[in-house]
Amino acid sequence: MVDTNLVLAVQNVTKRFGGLIAVNNLSFDVSRNEVMGIIGPNGSGKTTMMNLISGALALNEGTISLNGRYISRLPAHEINRRGIARTFQLVRVLPSLSLLENAMAGMVFGHQRLWGEQARHEASKLLERVGLGGQQNVPATALTYIDQKRLELARALAAKPEVLLLDEWLAGLNPTELQQGIDLIHSLREDGITIILVEHVMDAIRSLCDRCLVMAAGAKIAEGRPQEVLSDPEVIKVYLGEDI
Amino acid sequence: MDILITGLLLGGTYALIAFGLNLQYGVARIMNLANGEMIVLGALAAFWIFIADAISPILTMLIVAPLSFFGNWLIYRFLLRPLVRRAKNQGQLEVDSILATFGMAFALVGVMVSIHGEYFTYSYLAEPFEILGETFALNRIVAFCFAVLIGAALWLWLYFTRAGMAVRAVSVSTEASGLVGINVPQLSAIAFALGGAVTTMGGTLISTFITLDASVGVVFTMKALIIIIMGGVGDIRGAIVAALILGLVETAVARLIDPGLTLAAAYAIFVLILLFRPQGLFGRKPS
Amino acid sequence: MTSADVKQLVWGAILLALAACVPLVANGYWMSIALTIAMFTVLSTSWALFSGPTHYISLATAAFFGVGGFLVGTGMSDYNVDYWTMVVIASLAGTVLAFLVGLATLRLSGVYFVIFTLGLAEMIRTLVSWIQNNFTGSRGLYVLTDLGEVDIYLHLVLVAAFVYLAGWWIARSRLGFAMRIIGNDETVARHVGINTAFSKVILFTFSGFVASLVGALIAPRYTYIEPNGVFSPELSFIVVIMALLGGTGRLWGPIVGVIPFALLQEYINANYSNYSTLVLGIAFLVIVYFLPQGVLGRLEQLWAKRRQSTW
């Protein structure tokens, strides 16, 4: 019996880089319209896990499925067309394209295949949505850091994804920008998107996430609601070290 | 049997040329397509000096080595370093260095052709020598022995001296090397220069038993490339094995099928390697 | 279509019409040069359609050009097939070869791609030479037609029109957009659903098709086809130099490099033929150190600076 509420299933996934095991037999499920946070100290394998889901890296063992179909061995562009979009840890806008074109990029090649006037119209609306309205023909390189992040988000949303991967999207923002960012992500929930976010900013985790997964050294050490997970002594030990 | 030993002798000499390119590409990260022209320069020098004064090419080799070292150091410092500084990423540096070294290669060929356009060869130690009941040309054996000597010296330097270790570190990671206090630009220049010197020495050795002309450099560049890619870039062991294989295959094809197909055979190996195992026999698969 | 698009089409049509009128004013010597320029314009422009956006330097042009010329030669000489049928066959063969090579080289990047394409062209050359020497017996192949230089020139102008139209169309299409994105950031390109491999193969196949078509069309000029002639590696290098010299940023960039360099080559070959290789070398060095974006790129940089300074 297929669970239609289950959007993404990660099962026993392992990723090795030579002798280093970056992701170690990790399993977790993500339900529809859920916001799942992945947290853990630096080097715990969070971004690698994101890369495995989006297809940027190939896994060594295990499977990943979207809506019951395997995506684990598919190329990144195919995974995108199936409905997964992402932002990157180090923001990657397309420098020689305008803002409008950056946003359009997400919708031209995905499952929607929009083009021409319709694509420009939709892209324009998206730019407004993320707070970049009115700057359509500005070159992408002229943007501030948070605006670049907004642009990347617009590009990801342009794909009308089922699952949105946000890799430390809230990093490097000042308190005002952070609040704006959190509000923006909140508003995405209303569109029915399922979100997986990798974060270090605990306030964001607490206010946004339904559930949380804690990774350390590639393995899962806790899973559950943010309050439970963040007060788990194992989790605290992993972040702050042993009691002296 | 004859094929086996001749092939190995040839391969051994090829290995020396591959070492040179390995240093230049593996450490200095410059794909030096003018590599073949360094070989021809070394060969020309041996030819002229031998014809003029009957001085042994081995002695010439010892003279041209420091000259080549200095010349290549100058090339790196003034022609290639600006490209390294200018490039925003490794990909762009590769493209730039390909174009620049093509330019150098053509310029060198152009100059050499106008100075000495014809084929050149000379007779040095062209006597028979017996191994295991079969006769071989003494010059090939001598060339092989010196190639082994130089190769061994190089290997010892790389693995048993501090400078050598620094060079190996840079070939693994330029960034990390910089972080541990290695002067990467200076070491890259030295590696490039050393690579050029080794290549030129290989050229003088090869000239003892092969007829060359000013434009044949590109063939040697291709062979050196085939060897280092087949063996895995930066890998000395791999380069040796690959060079021996190439020497064997070439000799076998020349004797058993047709001498006209040696080049095609070499390219065929290359194409197959790039298609099926681009990291080389000993390289690690990129994740 | 925007008004800018229409303007481009009109300009293109005018210039091509002018090009077609050249035979009316050119005498034998200049007609010959015009023919060479036409050939290289088509080769360089189609080369730039692939190598411009991807930054992959392909040296396979000689392989496809050679296949085109050689098949026409052997088809007419050894098998008595008529010229135009051979042109079609040769172009198809070149296209298939380009497609296979394109697929094979996808995983390669940078240096490996350059060397692979160079090695491939050389391998085909030595193989064809060897087969010819040992099997078909004939040393050279004769291509005897009624076509004169003017006819061949007009054929090439037609192909040029086709290439420019294709380039114009690609730039406005999804494929062009995809190539711009790939040129900016290939990882992002893959993550927005672009099948980067497929896009590259299509463009590479197209440039291979054009090169083999040109090889076939120009065969009657030489009348006598020899493997070392049609598969000349120099051809690949010259095409690269011309395209980079002009600048690959714009569709009409390469022709800016073709015309002066072709004229320079004429001059050098006539007076200092020993130095032609040296000239190639110097050209590469000039491009790398002084004109990395080509003449057009440099002009556009200067133009942008002037506009900034007037503020």
8 A C-beta contact, residue C143 and residue C77: yes
Residues of B in contact with C233 (CB under 8 A): 218
**Which residues share a beta bridge with A36?**
A196, A211
Tell me what pLDDT residue B127 has.
Answer: 66
In sequence order, what E strands does chain C have?
141-142, 224-225
Min Cα–Cα distance to chain A from B151, Å:
30
Interface test with C, best of A54, A77, A90 (most C CBs within 10 A): A77
CB contact under 8 A, B109 and C281: yes
CB proximity under 8 Å: A 156-185 to C: 159
Per CB-CB distance under 8 Å, the chain C contacts of A88 are: 187-188
- Contacts C105 to B, Cβ<8 Å: 274
Pick from B270, B279, B285, B172: nearest CA to B227: B270
Share of chain C above pLDDT 90, in %: 41
Q: Which residues of A touch B284 (CB under 8 A)?
A: 18
Neighbour count for residue C82 (Cβ, 10 Å)? 10
Neighbour subunits, A (≥3 Cβ pairs < 8 A):
B, C
C-alpha to C-alpha distance for C237 and C239, rounded to whole angstroms: 5
Q: Which residues of C touch B98 (CB under 8 A)?
A: 57, 110-111, 114
Name the residue facing C184 among A80, A97, A108 (closest C-beta). A97
Q: What is the pLDDT of residue B264?
A: 83
Q: Give residue-wise pLDDT tens across range C22-74.
A: 888 878 888 889 999 999 999 999 999 998 888 889 999 999 999 999 898 88
Closest among B164, B177, B146 to B236, alpha carbons compared? B164
Check CB contact of B41 with chain C, cutoff 8 Å. no
**Least Cα separation, residue B202 to chain C (angstroms):** 22
- Measured distance CA(B99)–CA(B116) in Å, rounded: 25
Cβ atoms C64, C215 nearer than 8 A: yes
Task: State residue B88's pLDDT score.
Answer: 79
Vertex B159 angle, CA B155 and B162, to 5°: 125
Lookup result for tokens 């088809």: C75
Q: Does the beta-carbon distance from B91 to C127 stay under 8 Å?
A: no
Find residues 159-178 of chain C whose CB sits inside 8 Å of chain A.
Answer: 174, 177-178
Residue C251, both tokens: 């569709």
- Give buried/exposed letters for A59-96 (b at 16+ CB in 10 A, else e): beebebbbbeeebbebbbbebbbbbbbbbbbebbbbee
SS3 content of chain C, % helix, strand, coil (to 5): 85, 0, 15
Nearest to B45 by CA among B148, B115, B104: B115
Structure tokens at B267: 């390219």
Chain C residues touching B92 at Cβ < 8 A: 55
Joined tokens for residue C46:
């189609």
**Average of per-residue pLDDT across C148-167:** 91
Cα–Cα distance for residue pair C134/C149, rounded to 1 Å: 33
The residue of chain C with its CA nearest to that of B286 is C107
B274–C285 CB contact, under 8 Å: no
Which chain C residues contact residue A77 at CB under 8 A? Answer: 189-196
Q: Which residue of B has its CA nearest to A58?
A: B287
Cα pseudo-dihedral C217, C222, C226, C231, rounded to 10:
-50
C279, C283, C288 ranked by CB distance to B96: nearest: C288
Does the distance separating the beta carbons of B287 and A17 come in below 8 Å? yes
The mean pLDDT of chain C is 87
Helical segments of B78-216, H only: 81-86, 90-115, 138-160, 162-172, 174-179, 184-207
pLDDT of residue A244: 47
B153 token code pair:
């010296």
Nearest to B100 among C104, C275, C285 (CB): C285
Give residue B259's pLDDT: 79
Helix, strand, coil shares of chain B, percent, nearest 5, are 75, 5, 20
Alpha carbon distance A27, A72 (integer Å): 13
Contact A21, A216 (CB under 8 A): no
Residue C25's φ and ψ, nearest 5 degrees, are -110, -15
Q: Looking at residues C16-21, what average pLDDT do you find?
A: 86
Of the candidates B201, B164, B196, B167, the residue with the CA atom closest to the CA atom of residue B32 = B196
- Are C177 and A105 in contact (CB < 8 Å)? yes
Comparing CB atoms, the residue among C123, C133, C282 nearest residue B103 is C282
Does the beta carbon of A155 lie under 8 angstroms from any beta carbon of chain C?
yes
Mutant choice from C58, C108, C111 vs B, greatest count of B C-beta within 10 A: C111
Residues of A in contact with B283 (CB under 8 A): none
B31 at the C interface (CB within 8 A)?
yes
List of chain B residues with pLDDT < 70: 125-133, 283-287
The answer to whether C195 contacts chain A (CB < 8 Å) is: yes
Paired sense of beta strands A61-66 and A6-17, if any: antiparallel
Does C131 contact B at CB distance below 8 Å?
no
Q: What is the mean pLDDT of each run of 10 residues along chain A (244 residues)?
A: 80 91 94 92 90 93 93 93 93 90 92 89 92 82 89 93 93 89 89 91 89 92 90 83 58
pLDDT of residue B193: 93
Q: Which amino acid is at A206?
A: R
Contact predicate B124/B57, CB 8 Å: yes
Structure tokens at A238: 């992993």
Name the pLDDT band for C173 (thresholds 50, 70, 90).
very high
Q: How far does A92 lie from chain B, in Å, by closest CA? A: 16
Give me C25's structure tokens.
């004013």
> For A20, which residue in chain B has the nearest alpha carbon?
B287
Residue B100 confidence (pLDDT): 92
Q: Kindly state whether C191 is in contact with chain A, defined as any CB-CB distance less than 8 angstroms.
A: yes
Structure tokens at C230: 């049609």
| Cβ A108 vs Cβ A72: under 8 Å | no
End-to-end CA separation in angstroms for chain B: 41
- Chain B residues touching residue A18 (CB < 8 angstroms): 284, 287
DSSP codes joined into one string, A140-188: GGGS-HHHHHHHHHHHHHHT--SEEEEESTTTT--HHHHHHHHHHHHHH
pTM as predicted: 0.87
Q: What is the pLDDT of residues C204-254, one digit of tens each?
A: 999 999 999 999 999 988 878 887 788 888 899 999 999 999 998 888 899
Q: Which chains touch C (3 or more CB pairs under 8 A)?
A: A, B
Chain A positions touching chain B (beta carbons under 8 Å): 17-18, 57-58
Size of interface A-B (CB pairs under 8 A): 5
Best of B90, B94, B102, B261 to disrupt the C interface (most C CBs within 10 Å) is: B102
List CB contacts (< 8 A) between B258 and chain C. Answer: 130, 134
Does the ipTM surpass 0.95? no
Instruction: Using the structure block, give the residue that is written with the tokens 């110097």.
Output: C282
C175 in contact with B at a CB cutoff of 8 Å?
A: no
Q: What is the pLDDT of residue B287?
A: 46
One DSSP character per residue, A49-86 reads: HHHHHHTSS--SEEEEEETTEE-TTS-HHHHHHHTEEE
> d(Cα A185, Cα A180) in Å, to the nearest integer?
9
Spatial separation of the C-alpha atoms in residues B19 and B156, rounded to whole Å: 13
